[in-house]
Amino acid sequence: MKTILVVDDEPKITQLVRDYLERAGYRVLVAHDGQKALSVAKTEKPDAVILDLGLPSLDGLDFTREFRKTSIAPIIMLTARAEESDKLIGLELGADDYITKPFSPKELIARLRVVFRRMENIVNANSELIRFEDLTLDVPRMRVTASRRDIEELTPTEFELLAALARQPGRVFTRAQLLDAIHGVAFESYERAIDAHIKNIRKKIEVKASDPKYIITIYGVGYKFADN
């Protein structure tokens, strides 16, 4: 049974989400502020986090920043904030997806299943090594080596996105195609989420993120993985 940590300061929201998650077969932990959530996450090591951004004591963005130092468990942001900048910052910090209040609990469950499927697809993949010059992706083990450095902080979403590009070097992907590749289903046409993930990947694997060697921007279209 997978454990889900729900972090929200609204009791009605946490109860609603808890009810639906438990009906779907998950074990549920609840925290109402960011500091408590970090404490729970440290001891319980949840398989995923459903996280509000507007939290007391430590907001959702700061929680994500701290949580990502020790865990790659998927994070789905659950927030009333409509500003695009908040969502992009959350994705850049390592969140995997977002859903805006008011929300459909069924859609939340569907998105949670998608991020778990994504992780399972990586773990259950056939033995696969993807190599390009000094970059190596060990897909089953979800390991990346770049410039003789072990890159340990890629989230499942970032890893899957990098692998999708690296499997077809030279192919130009639109943002919509990449959304489909990592989600299985593109729940929303929030294509700028891809830009945030690419920016994050470059920070982690490139020697110089402003002059990328591996993931190349095709202006007006999308991205491709280098092929020469």
Q: 96-144: per-residue pLDDT in tens?
A: 888 888 889 998 998 898 788 766 655 555 557 888 888 888 887 788 9
- The predicted model gives 44-49 an average pLDDT of 96
Please name the residues in contact with 80: beta carbons below 8 A apart, sequence gap of 6 or more.
52, 54, 100, 101
pTM of the predicted model as reported, rounded to 2 decimal places: 0.67
What's the per-residue H, E or C state across 135-174?
EEEECCCCEEEECCEEECCCCHHHHHHHHHHHCCCCCCEE
34 contacts 63 by C-beta, under 8 angstroms: yes
99: its two tokens? 């859903």
Q: Residue 186 — pLDDT band, cuts 50, 70, 90?
A: very low
53 contacts 79 by C-beta, under 8 angstroms: yes
pLDDT reported for residue 83: 63
pLDDT reported for residue 124: 52
CATH architecture assignment, domain 125-225: Orthogonal Bundle (1.10)
- The predicted model gives 78-85 an average pLDDT of 70
- The predicted model gives 45-72 an average pLDDT of 91
Q: Which helix (H) or strand (E) holds 33?
A: none
- The predicted model gives 63-83 an average pLDDT of 84
pLDDT reported for residue 187: 45
Q: How many CB atoms lie within 10 A of CB 130?
A: 17
- The predicted model gives 156-172 an average pLDDT of 86
**Domain boundaries defined on the chain:** 3-121, 125-225
Is residue 102 reached through a cis peptide bond, with omega within 30 degrees of 0 on the bond before it?
yes
Domain 3-121 falls under CATH 3.40.50.1240: no
Residues 178, 186: Cα–Cα separation, whole Å? 9
pLDDT reported for residue 82: 61
CA 167 to chain centre: 20
Between the alpha carbon of residue 49 and those of residues 63, 78, 154, the distances in Å are 11, 10, 16
* Burial of 171: CB neighbours in 10 Å, binned 0-12, 13-18, 19+: middle
Q: Of 83, 103, 106, which Cα lies nearest the Cα of 12?
A: 103
Domains 3-121 and 125-225 share a fold: no
pLDDT reported for residue 75: 92
pLDDT reported for residue 21: 96
